[in-house]
Amino acid sequence: MNLRGFERREFPLSVRKLAFKRCCRDGVPHCENCGIELKAGNIEYEHLLADGLSGEPTLENCGVWCRSSCSKKKTFTEDNPRMQKADRVLKKNFGLTPSRHKIQSAGFRKAPPQRTASRPIERRS
Ligand SMILES: [Zn+2]
């Protein structure tokens, strides 16, 4: 479970089938975002409103997109930053951030002064 409170919900098979049918032109599937022809392995059923941001797994929220560019780009440049921000805001507002108190310790001993050419070793007399 994440802080936003629900598990990931993938599209059911029935929704994926209908979405696939919708994106086909002359029997060939095309990316609904950029329009390129979709090849096997390069197809992604994309949550138009991200699942982690309460996007429902319905046909209206399902886009058939190419995985290699459209889907990756949306996931990494739009969805993930928005969800990270939502998590940060939740953590801050509900006191779930780590405390900022400094750990108390004796610290390190101060090193003895080093010998340099301008400050030779003190001789004890
Ligand atoms: Zn595309």
Model pLDDT for residues 39-48, shown as the tens digit of each residue: 999 999 999 9
Full-model pTM: 0.70
Report the separation in Å between the CA atom of 108 and the middle of ligand 1, taken as the mean of its atom positions: 57
Domain ranges of the chain: 13-93
3-state DSSP assignment of residue 55:
coil
Cα(49) to centroid of ligand 1, in Å? Answer: 16
Distance 32 CA to ligand 1 centre (A): 7
User: What residues contact 93, with CB distance under 8 A and at least 6 apart?
Assistant: none
One-character DSSP codes across 92-121: HHTT-SPP-PPPP---PPPPPPPPBTTBPP
pLDDT tens column, 29-83: 999 999 999 999 999 999 999 998 889 999 999 999 999 999 999 999 999 999 9
CA 3: distance to chain centroid? 14
Distance from residue 36's CA to the centre of ligand 1 (Å): 6
Residue 83 CA to ligand 1 center (angstroms) comes to 22
